[in-house]
Amino acid sequence: MNIRKKKAQVSIEYMFIIGFATIVTTSLIIIYYSFTQESREEVTSSQIMQVVKKVVDAAESVYYLGEPSQTTLKINMPSNVVSTDLSSGNEIVFKVRTKGGESDIVQSSSVNITGSLPTDKGLYTVTVKAKSNHVEVSYK
C-alpha cells in the first residue's frame, strides 16, 4: 500500500510539473507573438515614412528646377499598405493595416503632387516629373 501512495504522489507531482511547464511555454509564445507583431508594424511604418519622405523631397526638388525636370527613385514598398492617395494636392496619404485597424501616414509637401504610388509589396521604380504648376508621380 505504501508503494502505491508513492507512485500516485510521483504521478501527481509529474502532472504539476508538466502543467506548469505548459502554462509558462504558452505564455512565452503569446508574448513573443505580440512582440514580433508590434515590431513588424513599427518596421512597416518606418519604411513607409522613408518612402514618403523620398517622394516628397524628390517632388520639391524637381518642381523648383522647373519643367521638364524629372528624376527616378527606387522604392521598396512594404506589405500591409491598403491604399495611397496623392489627390489631395500637397499631401501624400498612406493607409496601413495594423492589428488595431487601419491607420493613416501623412506627409505634407510645399508643392502640388498628383499621380499614384503602388500598394503591393515589392521593389518599384518611381518617376517624379515636374509640370508647369504641379509634380506628377508614376511608377513601374
Backbone angles phi, psi at 88, to 5 degrees: -85, 5
- Amino acid identity, residue 26? T
d(CA 98, CA 103): 7
Residue 74 has pLDDT above 90, yes or no: yes
Residues 95-105 pLDDT 10s: 998 888 888 99
Higher pLDDT residue, 6 or 64? 64
- The owner of cell 488595431 is 100
DSSP 3-state assignment of 88? coil
- From first CA to last CA, the distance across the chain in angstroms is 81
DSSP 87: T
What's the domain count of the chain? 1
pLDDT classification of 43: cutoffs 50, 70, 90: confident
Residue 1 has pLDDT above 80, yes or no: no
Neighbours of 135 (CB within 10 A): 27
DSSP 120: S
Long-range contacts of 33-39 (CB under 8 A, 24+ apart): 37/99
pTM comes to 0.74
Q: What range defines the domain where residue 103 resides?
A: 2-139
